[in-house]
Amino acid sequence: MRWKRLGLATALGLLFVAPASAGAKTLIGSGSSVAQPYLQALFAGYHRVKPGISFLYTADGGNAGVKDVQAGRSQFAAQTRPPLPSDGGTTYVKLFLDGLCIYVNQQNHLANMSLGELADIFTGVRTSWTQVPSSALNTTIDAVGRDSTAGTFTFFTAAVLNGQTQGSNVNTLASDGLVANAIRQDPNSIGYAGLARSKTPGIKRVSLGGVACAPQFIKSLKYPLSRFIWLVLPTASPDPDVQKFADWIRRSVPAGEIITKGGAVPAFNKTRKHRKH
Amino acid sequence: MHDPLLFEQRPHWWSDRRAELSLGAVVAATLAGVVAMLVFVVVQGWPSFAHNGLAWFGSGGSVDQQIKAMFLSGETGGHYVYTFHAWALIWSTILIVGGAAALSFVSSLFVAVFVVEFAPDWMKQILHPVVRLLASVPSVIYGLLGVLVLVPFIGNHVINQADKASVSHIISLSGYSLIAGVLILTVMIAPLMISIFADGLRSVPRHWLEASQALGINRWRTFWKVGVRAARPAIVAGTVLAMARALGEAVMLAMVSGSVGFAPNPFDGLIFLYEPSRPLAPTIIQNIEGLSSPPLKHTLFAIASVLLVSAMLLSLAGWAAKQPLKRYAAA
C-alpha cells in the first residue's frame, strides 16, 4: 500500500514538473581547461538571456574535446590552438582572445625581453640571470612551464621555441595556477601562463620586444603571444542552439563584459556606449 | 493466537541459506569486477609493451620527449610512435616509495610502541583519535602543504646557489624534489602504519609481558623482545598496506616531486635529494589530456598495469613474509 502511494505521488510530481521543463535543452561540450573559467561565466550569462538553455561542460583538454566532437559525444568543444590536419570534420570559430604572458617574481627587475632570449631560457641555453642583464639578479634561472600534452605547451613551443625541444631544466606543472604559484614563491623563477593570472599577487608580466601583455596589444594582435580561444563544431550538422550561443559570445555587449571580467580580451564584441553629460 | 510449532517451521525470508547465496553472489561479482578491471587495463596497455618489449622497462632518451612524440603522432594523424623507456619513472617510484616506507617504518614503530606501552593514559586518549584522523586526511591537502610550505622552503633556504648552478644546464633545483616527495609521503603513510602497528601491539596478551617482567627484565626490553616480536604479522601487514598506498599516490606527488621525467643520480652527492623526478602514478595524471592520442593512451594504460601488478606482488610478498612469523602471532 505504501509503495502504491509513493508511486502515485511520484507520478503526480512528474505531471507538475514536466510542463516547467518542457522546451529546456542541455548543450553538451568538452575541451580546454584553460577556457573553462571563461566558459562557465559565459554559460551563466547566456542562461540568464535564454533560461531554456543550460550547459554541461567537461574540461578534458582541448585535444580530447575535438575528438569528442568528431565522435559525436559533444556538441561543441573549446580549444586554445589553431586547427590541425587531424581535426577533419570540424569547424573552428574564433570566440575571443587571450594572451600567453611571461611572468617573473615581483623581486625581479626584468621588464622586457626579446623572443630570442625567452627561447634561450626555455631551451636551456641561458641558465643564469647574469645572462639576462636587466634582471639585476646573479642567480640560476628556475624556468617553469606546462606539461607536454597541454594546449598551452603546444602553443608556446610553436610560437616561441619554433618547434625546438623544451629544455630538461624546465619544471613542468599541471596547470596555469600552479605555474603562477611557483613564480610567486621563487624569486629566480620565470614562466608562462594566461593573461587571467596577471591578478596573482607577487608576480609581474614581462613585455616581449617592447610590447606589453595587455588587453589593447592582445586585441590588436601586436603582442606576439596573442591567441584565439576557439569553439569547435561538427561541420556536418552543428546544433543551431550552439551556433546561436557562439554568435552571442562573439557579438553581444554582456558577453564582452563577462570575457573582460574573466581576464580575457573580447575580439569582436560591441561595446556599451557611454552617454555624454 | 500463533501456533508456536507452525511459526518455527515457516522459514524466515532472510534464511541462512539465502544469506549465504546472496553474500556469495556479491563476493563473486566483486571478484569478477576486479578480474575484469585487470584484464581491461592489461589489454589496453599491451600495444605499448608489444612495441617496446623488455626495453619498455629500460632507460634511453628523455621520457618526456618520448611522451611528447607519442602525443603528437596521435594528434597529427601520421604514423603512430610508441617508443617508450620508463626507467626514469620506475627509478623515481622506487626511490620515493622506498624512502618514504623506510622512514615511516622506523618512526611509526617507535611511535606505536610509545603509544601502546609508555604514554600516560591522558595522552593515549588524545593520540589515538589524532592518528586515526591523520590516516584519513585526503592526499591533496598534503600536496597543498607541500606546494605552499615545504617546496619553497627547500628551494629558497636549503639548496644553495652553487648547487643550483652546478646542474642548471640539465635540471632546475627549485624545491620540487625527491626529498619533498619522500618527506610528505612519509607523513601521509605514517599514521596508517602507526594505527595498524598499535592495533597489533595491543593484541599481545598481557600475561606474556607480565611473565617477562616477573623475571626482572625491564619494560622497554620486555616490550621490544616480546611485544614487538609477537606483533610482527601486524607490522608486516601495516607496512604492505602503507606501501600500496604510497605506490598509488598520484595527486600529491604530481604537485611536489617536480614533474620532470628525470632519474635522480645518487652519485651526484647531496644534490641527489634535491633533484626533481616523477614516479609512475603522477605520470598518468599529468598526461591525462593526452588520452585522445592512441599511442599515448596505450602507454598510460601500460603504466597503470605495471602499478596494478606491483601492488599485487607487494601484497603477495606481504603474505609470504607473514607465513614464518605466524608462530609469533599474538592472536
Percent of chain B at pLDDT above 90?
A: 56
Sequence-distant (6+) residues with CB within 8 A of B149 are none
Q: Looking at the 3D structure of chain B, how many domains does it have? A: 2
Does the pLDDT at position A68 exceed 80?
yes
Q: How many CA atoms lie within 13 A of A275 on its CB side?
A: 1
User: Do residue A216 and residue A240 come from a single domain?
Assistant: no
Q: Is A6 in a helix, a strand, or coil?
A: helix
pLDDT band at A167, cuts 50/70/90? Answer: confident
Q: Which domain holds residue A117?
A: 99-226
ipTM score of complex: 0.72
Residue B235: the pLDDT is 93
Does the pLDDT at position A113 exceed 70?
yes
Q: Tell me the C-alpha to C-alpha distance, in Å, between residue A67 and each of A71, A76, A200, A251, B127.
A: 6, 10, 33, 27, 52
User: Do residue A251 and residue A200 come from a single domain?
Assistant: no
- Structural contact between residues B112 and B201, judged by C-beta atoms closer than 8 angstroms: yes
Q: What is the β-pairing status of strands A90-105 and A265-266? A: antiparallel
Q: Tell me the C-alpha to C-alpha distance, in Å, between residue A42 and each of A55, A58, A144, A177, A223.
A: 10, 15, 30, 21, 25
- Structural contact between residues B302 and B45, judged by C-beta atoms closer than 8 angstroms: yes
Strand partners, A227: A98
pLDDT band at B11, cuts 50/70/90? Answer: low
Q: Residues of B15-40 as b/e, b for ≥16 C-beta within 10 angstroms?
A: eeeeeeeeeeeeeeeeeeeeeeeeee
CA A20 distance to own-chain centroid: 35
Asked if the structure places residue B312 within a domain, the reply is yes
Q: Which domain holds residue B125?
A: 87-328
Does the pLDDT at position B7 exceed 60?
no
User: Do residue B239 and residue B288 come from a single domain?
Assistant: yes
Asked if the structure places residue B2 within a domain, the reply is no
User: Do residue B111 and residue B29 come from a single domain?
Assistant: no
Q: How many CB atoms lie within 10 A of CB A190?
A: 27
Residue A134: the pLDDT is 87
* Closest among B118, B171, B157 to B278, alpha carbons compared: B171
Residue A23: the pLDDT is 64
Residue A14: the pLDDT is 47
Sequence-distant (6+) residues with CB within 8 A of B182 are B95, B96, B99, B100, B103
Rounded mean pLDDT of B90-100?
96
What CATH number is associated with residue A41? 3.40.190.10
**Measured distance CA(B194)–CA(B39) in Å, rounded:** 34
Contact: A171, B75; criterion CB under 8 Å: no
pLDDT band at B313, cuts 50/70/90? Answer: very high
Residue A67: the pLDDT is 86
| Contact status of B146 with chain A (Cβ, < 8 Å) | no
**Measured distance CA(A101)–CA(A193) in Å, rounded:** 6
Best of B151, B174, B283 to disrupt the A interface (most A CBs within 10 Å) is: B174
**Average pLDDT, whole number, for chain A?**
86
User: Do residue A125 and residue A217 come from a single domain?
Assistant: yes
Q: What pLDDT, in 10s, does the model give residues A183-234?
A: 999 999 999 998 988 888 999 999 999 999 999 999 999 999 999 999 999 9
A15: which 3 cell numbers? 505531471
Q: What are phi and psi of B114, to 5 degrees?
A: -65, -45
One-character DSSP codes across A10-79: HHHHHHHHHHHHTT-EEEEEEE-SSSHHHHHHHHHHHHHH-TTEEEEEE-S-HHHHHHHHHHTS-SEEEE
Helices (H), chain B: 4-9, 16-52, 63-75, 87-113, 121-135, 139-145, 151-153, 161-166, 178-202, 206-214, 219-222, 228-230, 232-248, 251-256, 271-274, 280-286, 294-322
Does the pLDDT at position A239 exceed 70?
yes
* Closest among B271, B308, B318 to B170, alpha carbons compared: B271
User: Do residue B240 and residue B169 come from a single domain?
Assistant: yes
Which chain A residues are Cβ-neighbours of B174 within 8 angstroms? 142, 144, 171, 182, 186, 188-189
- How far B217 CA lies from chain A's nearest CA (Å)? 54
Asked if the structure places residue B40 within a domain, the reply is yes
Rounded mean pLDDT of A21-39?
83
- How far B257 CA lies from chain A's nearest CA (Å)? 10
Sequence-distant (6+) residues with CB within 8 A of B253 are B96, B143, B181, B185, B278, B279, B281, B282
Rounded mean pLDDT of B213-240?
90
Best of B275, B292, B296 to disrupt the A interface (most A CBs within 10 Å) is: B292
Q: Is A86 in a helix, a strand, or coil?
A: helix
Asked if the structure places residue A7 within a domain, the reply is no
Q: Considering CB atoms only, which of A60, A127, A168 is closest to B260?
A: A168
User: Do residue A201 and residue A232 come from a single domain?
Assistant: no
User: Do residue B106 and residue B218 come from a single domain?
Assistant: yes
pLDDT band at B16, cuts 50/70/90? Answer: confident
One-character DSSP codes across B197-263: HHHHHHTS-HHHHHHHHHTT--HHHHIIIIIHHHTHHHHHHHHHHHHHHHHH--HHHHHHSB-----
User: Do residue A80 and residue A149 come from a single domain?
Assistant: no
Q: Please name the residue that has the C-alpha cell 576486479.
A: B34
User: Do residue B211 and residue B299 come from a single domain?
Assistant: yes
Asked if the structure places residue A6 within a domain, the reply is no
Asked if the structure places residue B65 within a domain, the reply is no
| Contact status of B67 with chain A (Cβ, < 8 Å) | yes
| Contact status of B149 with chain A (Cβ, < 8 Å) | no
Does the pLDDT at position B222 exceed 50?
yes
* Length of chain A measured in residues: 277
Residue with the bigger pLDDT between B95 and A63: it is B95
Residue A141: the pLDDT is 94
Tally helices (H) and strands (E) across chain A: 9, 11
Q: What pLDDT, in 10s, does the model give residues A4-14?
A: 554 545 544 54
The letter for the amino acid at B323 is Q
Contact: A171, B276; criterion CB under 8 Å: yes
- Structural contact between residues A31 and A59, judged by C-beta atoms closer than 8 angstroms: yes
- Structural contact between residues B228 and B235, judged by C-beta atoms closer than 8 angstroms: yes
Residue A148: the pLDDT is 79
Residue with the bigger pLDDT between B258 and B295: it is B295
User: Do residue A193 and residue A235 come from a single domain?
Assistant: no
Does the pLDDT at position B12 exceed 80?
no
User: Do residue A192 and residue A78 come from a single domain?
Assistant: no
Percent of chain A at pLDDT above 70?
A: 90
User: Do residue B31 and residue B133 come from a single domain?
Assistant: no
**Measured distance CA(B68)–CA(B81) in Å, rounded:** 10
pLDDT band at B279, cuts 50/70/90? Answer: very high
User: Do residue B97 and residue B237 come from a single domain?
Assistant: yes
User: Do residue A125 and residue A211 come from a single domain?
Assistant: yes
**Measured distance CA(B147)–CA(B149) in Å, rounded:** 6
User: Do residue A107 and residue A123 come from a single domain?
Assistant: yes
Residue A177: the pLDDT is 85
pLDDT band at A115, cuts 50/70/90? Answer: very high
Does the pLDDT at position A43 exceed 80?
yes
Asked if the structure places residue A118 within a domain, the reply is yes
User: Do residue A236 and residue A194 come from a single domain?
Assistant: no
* Closest among B163, B160, B162 to B268, alpha carbons compared: B163
Instruction: Among A17-26, A104-113, B141-150, name the one with the lowest average pLDDT.
Output: A17-26
Residue A10: the pLDDT is 53
Q: Looking at the 3D structure of chain A, how many domains does it have? A: 2
Helices (H), chain A: 2-21, 36-49, 62-71, 115-122, 151-159, 176-185, 215-219, 240-251, 253-262
Q: How many CB atoms lie within 10 A of CB A20?
A: 8
**Measured distance CA(A80)–CA(A78) in Å, rounded:** 7
User: Do residue B102 and residue B213 come from a single domain?
Assistant: yes
Residue A107: the pLDDT is 92
Residue B77: the pLDDT is 67
Asked if the structure places residue A219 within a domain, the reply is yes
User: Do residue B99 and residue B161 come from a single domain?
Assistant: yes
Asked if the structure places residue B62 within a domain, the reply is no
Rounded mean pLDDT of B262-282?
91
Sequence-distant (6+) residues with CB within 8 A of B66 are B83, B84, B85
User: Do residue B25 and residue B106 come from a single domain?
Assistant: no
| Contact status of B296 with chain A (Cβ, < 8 Å) | yes
* Closest among A104, A129, A79, A106 to A179, alpha carbons compared: A104
The secondary structure of residue B325, as a DSSP letter, is G
Does the pLDDT at position B57 exceed 90?
yes
Asked if the structure places residue A187 within a domain, the reply is yes
User: Do residue B296 and residue B171 come from a single domain?
Assistant: yes
A180: which 3 cell numbers? 603562477
Residues of A with CB under 8 A from a CB of B: 33, 60-64, 66-67, 84-86, 124, 127-128, 139-144, 147-151, 165, 168-174, 178, 181-182, 185-189
Asked if the structure places residue A85 within a domain, the reply is yes
Asked if the structure places residue B32 within a domain, the reply is yes
**Average pLDDT, whole number, for chain B?**
89
What CATH number is associated with residue B120? 1.10.3720.10
Asked if the structure places residue A239 within a domain, the reply is yes
pLDDT band at B318, cuts 50/70/90? Answer: confident
| Contact status of B156 with chain A (Cβ, < 8 Å) | yes
**Measured distance CA(A246)–CA(A92) in Å, rounded:** 11
- How far A122 CA lies from chain B's nearest CA (Å)? 11
Give the residue on A whose Cα is nearest the Cα of B261: A168
Instruction: Among A198-207, B83-92, B98-107, B254-263, name the one with the lowest average pLDDT.
Output: B254-263
Residue A16: the pLDDT is 45
Residue A86: the pLDDT is 78
User: Do residue A140 and residue A233 come from a single domain?
Assistant: no
Strand partners, A203: A105
pLDDT band at B9, cuts 50/70/90? Answer: low
Asked if the structure places residue A232 within a domain, the reply is yes
User: Do residue A113 and residue A207 come from a single domain?
Assistant: yes
Residue B10: the pLDDT is 62
Residue B309: the pLDDT is 93
Percent of chain A at pLDDT above 90?
A: 59
